[in-house]
Amino acid sequence: MEEANGASVRWHQLRLYVDNHLHDRYLAPPLTVVVAALLTLWVPVGQALLWAGVELVVIAVYVSVYLRFRRAPAEDAGRWARRIALAHGAHMAMWSSIVVWAYQPGDLSSLMFVMLVHVGLISLTVVMSNPHRRLLLSDLVAPAVALVGPPLLDGSLFSVGLTALGLLYIALMLLVGLKIHASTLEALVLRQRNDQLISELERQVKRDALTGLANRRHFIETGEEELQRATRYRHPLALLMVDIDHFKPVNDTYGHLAGDEVLKAVAAVCAESVRGNDCLARLGGEEFAILMPETGLDEAGAAAERLRVAVERLRCELHEGLVTPTVSIGVAIIENTGESLSSLMRRGDRAMYAAKAQGRNQVVIAPALAA
Ligand SMILES: Nc1nc2c(ncn2[C@@H]2O[C@H](COP(=O)(O)OP(=O)(O)OP(=O)(O)O)[C@@H](O)[C@H]2O)c(=O)[nH]1
């Protein structure tokens, strides 16, 4: 499952792991101080201070690695996993060292202390590291190795028994951790599929299936936003209503599929002739619209004429025969009148029908609306 869903899931696993451990920023330093103070019961003060000093540096290092990871672009999860494993491994090794080093054979209080540290290490590892299987394993290595320390020093049946129980405990925790890991991974994969589906649906809702252009719904949404912006900042906004001439005979003569090819070819010419921030849409049938922000009358008229000529030059060499479409274009401009989008579109449409009435394959500019 991990392989199939690739880099993005691995990155999310790492991200979850790091997010879980970022609480350490606030918890680990005071805990280090408390444990160093307790350590002085069994080891010289200088050694306890040295341990606390090194551990505080290690905490600073791994927290800074985590914070840099959170700002990094989502790539190269493998390299970051290695860095994170190293940084966090050092932290785990420091705490595991207590288990071996602070244990005084025969001293029940030190045994309880090291066991407490142990239980804390293992349970925190299982709870926090499960999003990432390899890091879960590497985090468990340090406490597992430390477990064999006390009985080596002591050798009593009691300590060996405790160690055996501890190892069993680690094995159970590992099983639980891997189970949690599997469900976390499944949730991540599902979330990723969900995100993909949602963005695909969002794309489909906004697109016209035949031409790939924006559809009417998306055009109206964008149009309302552009209109608000143009009105607020008193900037010009131009609208071109574009309709293919005599399109019905194309369908009737060559068939609907051939008509679709012509629609796609005209859409492609329109797409080539608009600027990046223009909004081009197929409103339906053989009608297109282009919204041009920051565009005045002269500029819009010139753009419409360029588009008309570009379509006129188009030669659709279809299987069924040659089609040379033309378009009629109506141009309407909004200038500080508080006009609505539907009114602007109506004026654009009227100008486009005027172009049809005047013989087609031409551009007509809508008269300005009185302020
Ligand atoms: N192939 C195809 N045809 C479509 C599609 N949508 C609408 N049409 C056809 O487009 C044609 C539009 O015809 P009319 O509205 O009469 O306009 P026209 O023939 O282009 O004539 P004028 O606009 O007056 O120049 C109709 O035959 C519709 O069936 C489509 O998605 N694919």
Cβ atoms within 10 Å, residue 35: 20
- Could you give the CA distance from residue 298 to residue 312 in angstroms, rounded to a whole number? 21
Q: Annotated catalytic, 286?
A: yes
Predicted-complex ipTM score: 0.95
pLDDT for residue 169: 78
Which residue's C-alpha comes closest to atom 15 of ligand 1?
Answer: 248
pLDDT digits (tens, 9 = 90+) for 11-35: 888 888 898 888 888 989 999 999 9
Protein residue whose Cα sits closest to atom 5 of ligand 1: 285
- Helical spans, DSSP H, in the chain: 2-21, 24-39, 45-71, 77-101, 108-129, 133-147, 149-154, 157-206, 216-233, 247-254, 256-273, 297-312, 341-357
Distance of CA 124 to the CA centre of its chain: 29
Q: Which of 307, 224, 315 is nearest to 271 (CA)?
A: 307
Arithmetic mean of pLDDT over the chain = 88
pLDDT of residue 335: 72
Ligand 1 binding pocket, CB closer than 6 Å: 210, 243-248, 251, 256, 259-260, 263, 285-286, 356, 360
Tell the residue nearest (CA) to atom 14 of ligand 1.
248
Measured in angstroms, how far is the CA atom of residue 142 from the centroid of ligand 1?
74
Higher-scoring residue by pLDDT: 71, 126 = 71
Cα 239 to middle of ligand 1, angstroms:
21
* Shortest-distance atom of ligand 1 to CA 262: 1
For the cut 70, the answer to whether the pLDDT of residue 177 exceeds it is: yes
Task: Identify the residue with better confidence: 335 or 210.
Answer: 210
Task: Determine the Cα–Cα distance for residues 172 and 321; give it in Å rounded to an integer.
Answer: 74
pLDDT of residue 137: 77
**Cβ atoms < 10 Å from Cβ of 320:** 15
Which ligand 1 atom is nearest residue 256's CA?
1
**Coil, strand or helix at 269:** helix
Tokens of 59: 């905490």
Task: Give the position, in ligand 1's atom list, of the atom nearest the Cα of 244.
Answer: 20
The token pair at 263 is 């629609």
Choosing from 55, 226, 286, 339, the catalytic residue is: 286
User: What's the gap in Å between 207 CA and the centre of ligand 1?
Assistant: 20
What pLDDT, on a 0 to 100 scale, did the predictor assign at position 49?
A: 96
Residues 62-79 have a mean pLDDT of 90
Measured in angstroms, how far is the CA atom of residue 292 from the centroid of ligand 1? 25
| pLDDT tier, 176 (very low <50, low <70, confident <90, very high otherwise) | confident
User: Ligand 1: which residue has its CA nearest to atom 26?
Assistant: 248
Question: Could you report the per-residue pLDDT of 250-267, keeping only the tens digit for each?
Answer: 999 999 999 999 999 999
What are the φ and ψ backbone dihedral angles of 367, each rounded to 5 degrees?
A: -65, 150
Asked if 279 contacts 207 with a C-beta cutoff of 8 angstroms, the reply is no
pLDDT band with cut points at 50, 70 and 90 for residue 74: confident
Mean pLDDT of 99-108: 81
Residue 243 Cα to ligand 1 middle (Å)? 9
Terminal Cα distance for the chain, rounded:
63
Q: In sequence order, which residues have a C-beta less than 8 Å from that of residue 164 and are 6 or more positions away?
A: none
Query: Mean pLDDT throughout 87-98?
Result: 88
Atom of ligand 1 nearest to the CA of 251: 1
The minimum-distance atom of ligand 1 relative to the CA of 257 is 1
Q: Name the residue at shortest CA distance from atom 13 of ligand 1.
A: 248
Q: What is the percentage of the chain residues whose pLDDT exceeds 90?
A: 54
Q: Could you give the C-alpha distances from 31 to 51, 59, 67, 145, 186, in angstroms and in order?
A: 13, 11, 21, 22, 34
User: Would you say 143 and 122 are in contact if contact means Cβ atoms under 8 Å apart?
Assistant: yes
pLDDT digits (tens, 9 = 90+) for 285-329: 999 999 999 999 999 999 999 999 999 999 999 888 899 999 999
Distance 244 CA to ligand 1 centre (A): 8
Is residue 72 a contact partner of residue 46, using CB atoms and an 8 Å limit?
A: no
Segment 120-171, tens digit of pLDDT: 887 777 777 777 777 877 777 777 777 766 665 667 777 777 778 777 877 8
Specify the range with the lowest mean pLDDT, choosing from 168-182, 198-212, 272-286, 306-320: 168-182
Question: What is the CATH code for 216-365?
Answer: 3.30.70.270
- Mean pLDDT on 277-283: 96
CB 362 within 8 A of CB 331: no
Whether the pLDDT of residue 230 is over 50: the answer is yes
Rounded average pLDDT over 268-290: 95
Tell me the best of 210, 251, 316, 352 to mutate to test the pocket of ligand 1, counting ligand atoms within 8 Å of each CB and taking the most: 251
How many Cβ atoms from other residues are within 10 Å of residue 312's Cβ? 13
